[in-house]
Structure 1
Amino acid sequence: MRARKLSDLVDAARPDAVLDEILAIIHHVNPAFKDTAIIRLAFLETVRLYKGDFPGYRACNTEYHDLRHTTDTALTITRLIHGAILEGHHLDQRQIVLGLVTALFHDAGYIQKEEEFEGTGAKYTTTHVGRSIAFFEDCAPDLGLSSLEISDGRAMILFTNLSVPPEQIVFEASTGEFMGRMLGAADLLAQLSDRTYLEKLLFLYREFKEAGVGGYSGERHLLEQTVAFYDAVSQRIEATFDRADQYMLRHLTNRWNIRTNLYHKAIENQKQYLKQILEDPDTNHRNHFKRDGIVDIVRLKYGKPH
């Protein structure tokens, strides 16, 4: 029997399947959970936003920071929350709701407003966190969040900004920082464990190029730097986020009877595959990326590698 992979557990390409799994995990956390309607509403509003059905906003046009990444992040933090509670951490319903809402809105800043026509949302790469916070603040009252929850939610989203020192982030509630660290970890884990992560790096290169950040000379340059980024992420999760990924194994064991951290396994497998590709300086990296037809999309839209 083939060992299960992370991508076997939920069809991450279907937002409805992801929402069903999130709500199923919440039920495992607390069968009497009262605020699932808020989570459902925030999730559905996020889908509307990315699809271009949210008043005042255009559809998502960033191909790396897309709806799939956002729903992956929401599912990942839900799994971490479940694992943390199984490990003895006390997180009440409102804290869980806030963690889910901020996960869903953490990249909303990439979405252009209806009057923003120049380029794509990628041009907001360096400012998207502030824009995401503004979107969260606008939507929070309709979700029934209090002023204290809005303040802590703002701080939680800041944990997804790699350039903000955690010691500068201030929370109203003592448990807010714990949830913020889990959000920061979930954001990174969701990206690197995506089965199409390597393929989507070709999209990320275009986003960075439009934003004028990174100074990458081409796709391969970004891929080469990604090898070091894996190590930087591991260090950040361990040091900055207090090893928040440790709760994943407890969740997987309880929910799926899986005793391997499938996030770590997916990330390590792709890291090793990327290193193998880069060992040959003359190879065309695109020839090694086979998943979801992404290379064909890149070729048609952007042409040959550069």
Structure 2
Amino acid sequence: MDDGKRHLADLVNMESPQAVYDEVRHIVSLIHPGFPLPLLDTVFRDTVRLFRGRYPGYRACTTEYHNLKHTTDVLIALARIMHGASLKKAPLSEEGVFLGLLSALLHDSGYIQAADDRKGTGAKYTLIHVERSVAFAEAYCARKRYPAGYAEKCTSMIRCTNLNTPVGEIPFLSEEVELVGRMLGAADLVGQMADRVYLEKLLFLFYEFKEGLLKGYSSERDLLQKTLTFYEHTKSRLDSDLGGIHRYLRHHFRERWGMDKDLYARAIESNIKHLRFILDDSGKDHRSHLQRGGIVKRLGRKPPSSG
């Protein structure tokens, strides 16, 4: 069982899309031993190509918060939630699992710019990225000639990642589609907030919001401060609008890793604890506390924005 020393980031090399995907494949095989993995392999390869600028008609990803790693973070979080749910006999068909993972892979495709879109970065689409992702998913399903209904099911799941849309207002074709949509909404939240470089990446997020004309954040430090409020809103959304579905994670970690804990909750709490420390230390620039991932160095061209 868990000795208390292993953390979420110790289980899989989250910096490697392939390592993350290999674990996702393993998890899927635990849910459905006969799952058609080659079908999912194709979507994963296409997603990597899309974010790396190798997909026809599109530029490489230009956003540094909503990047390929964020997508794979959400992908594995969703697979883990679905596995935990399956252990508790939740009704998850092979189709439901596939469509959920497809939706996770494409849920932020709306940040990717077309090949002839050379102005700014994909962050300019922040306010409309969900509907752009929906449009990409619809086109992708048509291109792959998936069965009728796949596109509609996929797009309703993707809309569950829109924080401004109550899940109750989204039409679903079935109870399973709604269930998986809620799982994706939860995975999108816990996947990003549990990232070991989440606090550092918030600096990238500030500049994405700035380019996307998202109001309410005057500086890097202001965004860090308001992340505490976002954390409270996230807990509320997870427990109410998303039905507490993230709690299936504990069952996954107990079965897969012999650890009777929700490692996402532990990682998020650790990040928030460190964030409070940073904000309480008024004698230091916030960037001096954010040293993981070389992110501050990459932001060197931008002056610290402290407000």
TM over 0.5: yes
Equivalent residue number for residue 19 of structure 2: 17
Q: Are 1:205 and 2:206 counterparts?
A: yes
Deviation at 1:143, TM superposition (A): 4.0
Deviation at 1:126, TM superposition (A): 0.5
Return structure 1 stretches of 4+ with deviation > 4 angstroms.
none
Kept in 2: contact 1:50–1:66 (CA 8 A): yes
Kept in 1: contact 2:47–2:106 (CA 8 A): yes
Q: Which moved more, 1:153-162 or 1:273-282?
A: 273-282
Q: Which moved more, 1:211-220 or 1:56-65?
A: 211-220
Kept in 1: contact 2:287–2:304 (CA 8 A): no
**1:5 aligned to which of 4, 7, 18:** 7
Question: What TM-score do the two structures reach when normalised by structure 2?
Answer: 0.96
Q: What is the alpha-carbon distance in structure 1 between the residues aligned to residue 166 and residue 5 of structure 2?
A: 39
Kept in 1: contact 2:220–2:304 (CA 8 A): no
- Tell me the SS of whatever aligns to 1:304: coil
Deviation at 1:144, TM superposition (A): 4.7
**2:32 aligned to which of 7, 26, 30:** 30
Equivalent residue number for residue 293 of structure 1: 294
Residues 122-271 of structure 1 aligned to structure 2 (within 5 Å): 122-271=123-272
Q: Which moved more, 1:45-54 or 1:166-175?
A: 166-175
Q: What is the alpha-carbon distance in structure 1 between the residues aligned to residue 43 and residue 143 of structure 2?
A: 10
Q: What is the alpha-carbon distance in structure 2 between the residues aligned to residue 238 and residue 4 of structure 1?
A: 26
Q: What is the alpha-carbon distance in structure 2 between the residues aligned to residue 117 and residue 157 of structure 1?
A: 26
Kept in 2: contact 1:95–1:176 (CA 8 A): yes
Q: What is the alpha-carbon distance in structure 1 between the residues aligned to residue 145 and residue 288 of structure 2?
A: 49
Deviation at 1:2, TM superposition (A): 6.5
Q: What is the alpha-carbon distance in structure 1 between the residues aligned to residue 201 and residue 99 of structure 2?
A: 29
Partner amino acid, structure 2, of 1:12:
M
Partner amino acid, structure 2, of 1:42:
V
Kept in 2: contact 1:38–1:143 (CA 8 A): no
Deviation at 1:147, TM superposition (A): 2.3
Residues 89-108 of structure 1 aligned to structure 2 (within 5 Å): 89-108=90-109
Kept in 2: contact 1:42–1:143 (CA 8 A): no
Question: What TM-score do the two structures reach when normalised by structure 1?
Answer: 0.97
Q: What is the alpha-carbon distance in structure 2 between the residues aligned to residue 162 and residue 79 of structure 1?
A: 21
**RMSD value over aligned CA atoms?**
1.2
Equivalent residue number for residue 119 of structure 1: 120
Q: Which runs of 5+ in 1 are unaligned?
A: none
Q: Which moved more, 1:280-289 or 1:193-202?
A: 280-289
Partner amino acid, structure 1, of 2:136:
F
Equivalent residue number for residue 304 of structure 1: 304
Q: Which runs of 5+ in 2 are unaligned?
A: none
Q: What is the alpha-carbon distance in structure 2 between the residues aligned to residue 231 and residue 50 of structure 1?
A: 31
Partner amino acid, structure 2, of 1:177:
E
Residues 53-64 of structure 1 aligned to structure 2 (within 5 Å): 53-64=54-65
Q: What is the alpha-carbon distance in structure 1 between the residues aligned to residue 205 and residue 304 of structure 2?
A: 16
Kept in 2: contact 1:39–1:97 (CA 8 A): yes
Q: What is the alpha-carbon distance in structure 2 between the residues aligned to residue 214 and residue 279 of structure 1?
A: 25
